[in-house]
């Protein structure tokens, strides 16, 4: 019995090490290729998002003007759309940019911030999902609300009743949208509709800093751009790496404000041995 348990633990550790290697290769690719990530994002997140992309090795561009999109989006390696501070004219830019990215075969990532806060937000998000994002990342309530609404009228599950759990909601949304779906939480869950992996990195204090969720969505956009052959793995790796930066930052931080600074420093300075020992991604399915 004990031997069986030890064998299972060893297999788990082998799997973790395999993911850690992938994570290192994926951040190396970002650093080497320095993908240009166009961000159409909310006002609150712009600073942290741009700095997170720079520290990760990517090039941020905060371009949301409708008139610039035909010239700009075709040159971006990926696109991040975040609905945090939505207004009707921005929606035109979001749709134009997402359509163009999809047309050019470039990955794009959707962050459905507070999607259930208004009918307008939900309608916009459902329209954006139709434009086939490569990845959708939200927290459990956002993914459950979007998944439920995307089932159509009367078919949705009322998430306030807690009848649909986040993993099932993510899986169902991934299957219907064709996107990789990531749910942030104490354990981040990533699924392509079949495979499900869990990421156990990061610290709770990261939630005390505004826009950490927005920033990791942009980092995902950089990782899928630099690792185009496997967006599922790139998504899991970027969530883990951002979490590791938070863990390292927490060793030096006194609170949220200094964590923000140390987290950016740690992401910038992340080295191979540290990453290999800290990445904690494991399969949750099969």
Q: Which residues here bind ligand NAG, judged by CB under 6 A?
A: 113-114, 139-142, 200, 280
The distance of closest approach from Cβ of residue 36 to ligand NAG in the complex, given in angstroms and rounded to an integer, is 27
- 17 vs 104 by CB, closer to ligand NAG: 17
The distance of closest approach from Cβ of residue 19 to ligand NAG in the complex, given in angstroms and rounded to an integer, is 10
Residue 60 to residues 110, 182, 246, 270: CA-CA distances in angstroms?
16, 22, 20, 19
- 48 vs 101 by CB, closer to ligand NAG: 48
- 62 vs 114 by CB, closer to ligand NAG: 114
- 36 vs 113 by CB, closer to ligand NAG: 113
Measured distance CA(222)–CA(133) in Å, rounded? 14
Residues contacting 258, CB < 8 A, separation 6+: 252
The distance of closest approach from Cβ of residue 12 to ligand NAG in the complex, given in angstroms and rounded to an integer, is 9
Q: Report the candidate in 226, 223, 225, 140 with the shortest Cα–Cα distance to residue 188.
A: 140
Tokens coding 121: 């937000």
Per-residue burial over 43-78, b = 16 or more CB atoms within 10 Å of its CB, e = otherwise: eebbebbbbbbebbbbbbbbbbeeeebeebbeebbb
Measured distance CA(182)–CA(219) in Å, rounded? 13
The distance of closest approach from Cβ of residue 23 to ligand NAG in the complex, given in angstroms and rounded to an integer, is 12
Rounded to 5°, angle at Cα 85 from 208 and 250: 20
Give the strand pairing for 180-184 and 188-191: antiparallel
The distance of closest approach from Cβ of residue 204 to ligand NAG in the complex, given in angstroms and rounded to an integer, is 12
Give 40-95 as a DSSP string: E--TTTHHHHHHHHHHHT-EEE----GGGHHHHGGG-SEEEEE-TT--HHHHHHHH
- 57 vs 213 by CB, closer to ligand NAG: 213
The distance of closest approach from Cβ of residue 283 to ligand NAG in the complex, given in angstroms and rounded to an integer, is 13
Q: Please state the length of the chain.
A: 286
> E strands, 76-221, where?
78-82, 108-111, 135-139, 180-184, 188-191, 196-199
- 35 vs 138 by CB, closer to ligand NAG: 138
- 191 vs 280 by CB, closer to ligand NAG: 280
The distance of closest approach from Cβ of residue 77 to ligand NAG in the complex, given in angstroms and rounded to an integer, is 27
- 97 vs 201 by CB, closer to ligand NAG: 201
Give 257-272 as a DSSP string: HHHHHHHHHHHHH--H
The distance of closest approach from Cβ of residue 116 to ligand NAG in the complex, given in angstroms and rounded to an integer, is 9
């Amino acid at each position: 019995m004990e031997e069986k348990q030890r064998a299972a633990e060893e297999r788990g550790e082998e799997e973790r090490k395999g993911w850690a290697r992938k994570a290192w290769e994926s951040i190396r690719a970002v650093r080497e290729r320095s993908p240009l990530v166009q961000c159409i994002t909310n006002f609150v997140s712009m600073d942290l998002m741009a700095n997170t992309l720079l520290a990760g090795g990517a090039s941020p561009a905060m371009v949301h003007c409708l008139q610039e999109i035909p010239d700009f989006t075709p040159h971006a390696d990926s696109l991040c759309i975040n609905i945090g501070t939505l207004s009707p004219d921005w929606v035109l830019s979001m749709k134009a940019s997402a359509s163009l990215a999809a047309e050019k075969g470039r990955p794009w990532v959707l962050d459905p911030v507070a999607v259930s806060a208004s009918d307008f937000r939900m309608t916009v998000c459902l329209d954006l999902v139709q434009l086939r994002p490569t990845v959708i990342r939200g927290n459990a309530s956002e993914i459950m609300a979007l998944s439920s609404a995307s089932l159509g009228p009367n078919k949705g599950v009322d998430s306030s009743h807690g009848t649909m759990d986040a993993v099932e909601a993510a899986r169902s949304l991934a299957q219907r949208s064709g996107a990789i779906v990531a749910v942030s939480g104490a354990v981040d869950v990533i699924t392509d509709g079949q495979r499900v992996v869990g990421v156990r990195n990061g610290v709770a204090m990261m939630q005390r800093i505004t826009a950490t969720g927005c920033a990791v969505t942009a980092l995902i956009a950089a990782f899928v751009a630099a690792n185009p052959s496997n967006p599922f793995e790139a998504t899991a790796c970027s969530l883990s790496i951002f979490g590791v930066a938070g863990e390292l930052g927490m060793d030096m931080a006194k609170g949220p404000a200094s964590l923000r600074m140390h987290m950016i420093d740690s992401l910038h300075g992340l080295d191979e041995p540290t990453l290999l020992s800290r990445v904690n991604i494991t399969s949750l399915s099969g």
